[in-house]
Structure 1
Amino acid sequence: MKPAAAEPNPHGDACIVLVCNGPGELATWVRPLAQRLHRELPLRPLTPGAPMALQLVLVPCPNATGIEHQVADRMGLFERISPAKRFWSLLLRPQRLGRWPRRGVVVFLGGDQFWTVLLSARLGYRHITYAEWVARWPRWNDRIAAMGPAAADRLARRWQPRCQVVGDLMADLSEAARSERPLPQGEWVALMPGSKRAKLQVGVPFLLEAADRLAAQRPGIRFLLPVAPTTSVQELLAYGSAANPIAQHYGSGEPVLEGSDLVTPAGSRIRLVEEQPAHGVLSQCQLALTTVGANTAELGALGVPMIVLVPTQHLHVMQAWDGGIGILARLPFLRWLLGAALTAWRMRNHGFLAWPNISAGRQVVPERVGAITPQEIAAEAADWLAHPQRLEGMREDLRSLRGQPGAVAALAGMVRELLPPPSADSA
Structure 2
Amino acid sequence: MKLVKYLKSNAYLIGFGVLLTFLSSFGQTFVISLYLPSFQEYFYLSDGEFSLVYSGATLLSAFSITWLGRFIDQIRLTKFTKAVMFGLIVFLIILAFSYHVAILFVGLYGMRLFGQGLLSHTSITSMARFFEKGRGKAISFASLGHSIGEAFLPIIIVGGIFYVGWRYSLLLSAVFVLICIPFAIYLLRKNSNFTQLRKYIPKPFTKEESISASPKSILKTKAFWIIMPSSLAAAAIGTGFLLFKLKLGLAKDWSPAFVAGGFTAYAVGNALSNLLAGFLADRFSGKNLFPLYLIPGSIGIASLLLSSETWVYIVLIGGIGITNGFGSTIKNVALAEIYGERIIGSVRSLFTMIMVFSTAIGPLFFGFMLDSGYQFTDIALISIGIYLLMTFNASRIFKLKVSSVN
TM-score per shorter chain, which class? under 0.3
The higher-RCO structure (CA 8 Å, 6+ apart) is: 2
Select the structure that is richer in strand. Answer: 1
Name the TM-score, length of structure 1 as normaliser: 0.25
Name the TM-score, length of structure 2 as normaliser: 0.26
| Larger-Rg structure | 1
Select the structure that is richer in helix. Answer: 2
